[in-house]
Structure 1
Amino acid sequence: MGSMSIWHWLVVGILVMLLFGKGRFSDMMGDVAKGIKSFKKGMSEDDEAKTPPQRIEAPQPTVVDADKQTDKVS
Structure 2
Amino acid sequence: MNPGPWGLLIIALVVLLLFGRGKIANMMGEVASGIKAFRKGMSEEEKPVAEIDQAPKSEADTTLNQAKEVDRSKDA
Band of TM-score, shorter chain: 0.3 to 0.5
Higher relative contact order (CA 8 A, sep 6+): 2
Higher alpha-carbon Rg:
1
> Could you tell me the TM-score, scaled by structure 1's length?
0.46
